[in-house]
Amino acid sequence: MSKKPSGALTDRRSLLRSGAVLSGAAAAVAGLPAARALAADTVDDSLLKRVLDRGKVIVGTGATNPPWHFEDDNGKPIGMDIDMAKLLAAGLFGLQLEDKKAMLEDDSKVLPYVEFVIQEANARIPNLLTDKVDVNFQFMTVKTDRAVQVEFTIPYYREATTLLLPKDSQYNSIPDMQGHGVTLSALQNVGVEEDMKAQVPDATIVQLASIADAIAAVDAGRADAAGVDLSSGKWFAANAPDKYKFTPESFNPNSYSASVKPGDQIWLNFVNTMIHEALIGLDFPVYQRMFKRWFAEDLPSPVAGFPAEYK
């Protein structure tokens, strides 16, 4: 693990662990702006301090939805969400850029600082609210009804829905399936039936507990196609081209974000900072490698000058 900056006043981790709080007068004596000291008045109550004191971050995620979160042959969690969680842990506990790059091949330096809680999609919000996890990285779609229950971070991926079909299916597109009374399987979720019927009005919609179950229904012939993320459709078609294909049409573009328990702006700000810098900052080379690894796409590097996020 890399060395931390020396000096208590220059090391925010030291301030958080010690619970040190400077009043406006003390800040002036220390040569720090009073406003900065005021912002630290509630630091003892923040999850950020508790995570640092604990020495690891507890992340809620799944295990059955490639390329986002699934298990390798040894039962180890892997996927884009898993790598995002590791990047958060690396930032929390001071790993440097080279260590962050290396963790995609050798995660031994970061694993001591992250614990994964494997959960079903319907447990994401309850587990946050009951403090069983510190943050969710579980391909969570931002919705306003969810946003009144949890705090969403800035998005780290823009998703859409496609239909995954057997390779030998007589159907090749969404229009092909209209008017044929097909059965579509999907992850159980609010509004999923309306969303699917907007594409294939006469379809029968079967809602199941996981994406893996939805795909298994297709494999077993109980469904003609499964509603999956476009990213997942691409992944399955690329990794099993003799078994799957997906419709060229996609629908319902949406944002994937991490989620945290409401009421802790300090913790939310930290997770937001980590995601922001992965998308367009110094950690972009890590995110770029992750994107290539899981989506087989080459991202162009951010350009200097006017911040790209405001264009």
Q: How confident is the model at residue 33 (pLDDT cuts 50, 70, 90)?
A: very low
CA angle, 283 then 289 then 294, to 5°: 130
Contact 17, 109 (CB under 8 A): no
- 203-250 pLDDT tens trace: 999 999 888 899 999 999 999 999 999 999 999 999 999 999 999 999
What's residue 118's pLDDT? Answer: 97
| pLDDT, greater one: 18 or 127 | 127
Q: How many helices (H) and strands (E) does the chain have?
A: 14, 13
Burial class of 188 by CB neighbour count within 10 A (0 to 12, 13 to 18, 19+): middle
| Residue 83 CB burial class (10 angstroms; 0-12, 13-18, ≥19) | buried
Label residues 214-242 b or e (16+ Cβ within 10 Å = b): bbbbbeeeebbbbbbbbbbbbbbbeeeee
Residue-wise pLDDT tens digits, 175-187: 999 999 999 999 9
| Gyration radius of the chain's alpha carbons | 22
Whether the per-residue pLDDT at 16 is higher than 70: the answer is: no
| DSSP-assigned letter for residue 182 | -
pLDDT of 226-237, one tens digit each?
Answer: 999 999 999 999
pTM score, whole prediction: 0.80
Enumerate the CATH 3.40.190.10 domain ranges in the chain, comma separated.
56-105+114-154+255-277, 158-254
Locate 162 and state its tokens.
Answer: 């496609």
Task: CATH number for 56-105+114-154+255-277: choose from 3.90.1150.10, 3.30.70.980, 3.40.50.1360, 3.40.190.10.
Answer: 3.40.190.10
Which class is domain 158-254?
A: alpha beta
Tokens of 123: 């447990």
3-class SS of residue 244: strand
Gap between the Cα atoms of 239 and 235, Å rounded: 6
CA atoms of 77 and 11, how far apart (whole Å): 32
Complete DSSP assignment for 257-292: EEEE-TT-HHHHHHHHHHHHHHHHSTTHHHHHHHHH
Where does the pLDDT of residue 308 fall: very low under 50, low under 70, confident under 90, or very high at 90 and above? confident
Q: How many CB atoms lie within 10 A of CB 194?
A: 9
Higher pLDDT, 310 or 251: 251
Q: Which of 14, 16, 41 is nearest to 27 (CA)?
A: 41
Q: What is the pLDDT of residue 39?
A: 38
pLDDT tens digit sequence for 78-116: 999 999 999 999 999 999 999 999 999 999 999 999 999
